[in-house]
Amino acid sequence: MSALPAGAQDAAAITADAPEAAALPPAKPEQKAPGPIKTRVLWSQFTDIVVSGDADDTLRYGGKIDAYVDIGGSTVGLDDSISLHVHPEFKYGESSNGEVGLIPANTLLFYPDEGDVFDLDINITKRWKSGTSLTVGKLNILDLAARIPVQGGGGHEGFQNLALALPPSAIVPGSITGAMLNVPTDKLIYRVLVFDPELQSRRSGLEDPFSKGVGVLASATLPVKIGGKRGYYALKIAGSTRSEVAADALPAALIPAPGSSFGNRKGEISAILAFDQYIFEDSQNPGKGIGIFGQIYMSNGDPTFLDASGFIGISGNPKGRPTDRFGLTYFRYSLADGLVDVLNNRVALEDEEGVEAFYTVQVGKPFRLTANLQVVDSAVSVRDVGVTAGLRLTTAF
């Protein structure tokens, strides 16, 4: 892979490994089970170009199609509290991922793999009247990221850089096989995931499950109102019994040589503090508004290739234009010191930091057009600061 993935899930990875969407605040639980059959398709087309820096200034085009099919249990004679979720996805074309920063600048054109590729996620969910739900199967963490209230995520809407669309943790993969339990209470929303720590993109998840260990992600989200404005504050803990670096989430140049001093320790753990807080809510358009968001991440390092990261930003819908959306953020990610040391003779590395801004307008009912600008100081020391400009056209069916 040419770009560095980001890891993880729970409301995301600098690693193809994914994400502590992972650092995502758990989404507000759904109280109603889906009807018999519901379908939705999102098609995003991208064009981008590096306009400043030492990367090639080639205009690139690519796209991603995601279909979401939810089949209620009544379709096969069961109760609709049970549902089957089927998510086929197809990615095609090119992007500027890896041209400037290690973190992919375009999340949708990074997953599920390089080139023109297809993937399929299938899982089953049981919902109870209390709002508790249990999902088992293959899960796409980008789907969880898309539910974040202020920051947003997933790549079809909002920010495109993996640092925001699926924040890296390097522990939770972007595609997992396992189980997810959501338990809402009067004061807190709890989420627990148990998963195979190996990336499951383009796999059924049944080839050799849990052969490299077991991963767990636990989070607690506190919904609040400050000055009458909604907010969500979350603590997330992720860890696994893996005893090797997540090589499938790193570019080849960043994979330590066999026998090196990094990537041999058994077990890894990380902690995340995240928040999404509205500062303005549109009373005429429920669910619309402007808010601030942020996250701090820390891990114990080896074998996790990230040891610290953080971001802060603002995003929302301009007053008077509720269908438009904007966002501005600053992010910084730090590779583990041990990894930097063992790679010192191969490539000089430092922290990666950047700024991303976007503005989205509704163009007719099914179309949303987004202008995106990213300024990134790469983790690869010899690279100049790069500026990437692009457009995204998203069509909903």
Cis peptide before 184 (omega within 30 of 0): no
- How far is CA 123 from its chain centroid? 19
pLDDT score, position 169: 84
Residue 352 near residue 379, CB atoms below 8 Å: yes
Q: The whole model's pTM is what?
A: 0.89
User: Tokens in use for 90?
Assistant: 């197809």
| Three-class secondary structure of residue 74 per DSSP | helix
Instruction: Write out residues in the chain with pLDDT < 50, as ranges.
Output: 1-31
Taking only the tens place, the pLDDT of each residue in 208-219 is: 899 999 999 999
Q: What is 187-239 written as a DSSP string?
A: S-EEEEEEE-SS--TTS-S-SSTTTT--EEEEEEEEEEEETTEEEEEEEEEEE
Mean of per-residue pLDDT scores for the chain: 89
User: Tokens in use for 331?
Assistant: 């992010």
pLDDT score, position 76: 87
Tell me, which fold does domain 37-396 have in CATH? Porin (2.40.160)
- How far is CA 372 from its chain centroid? 18
Give me the residue label for tokens 């199967």. 137
pLDDT score, position 252: 78
For residue 216, the tally of other CB atoms under 10 A from its CB is: 18
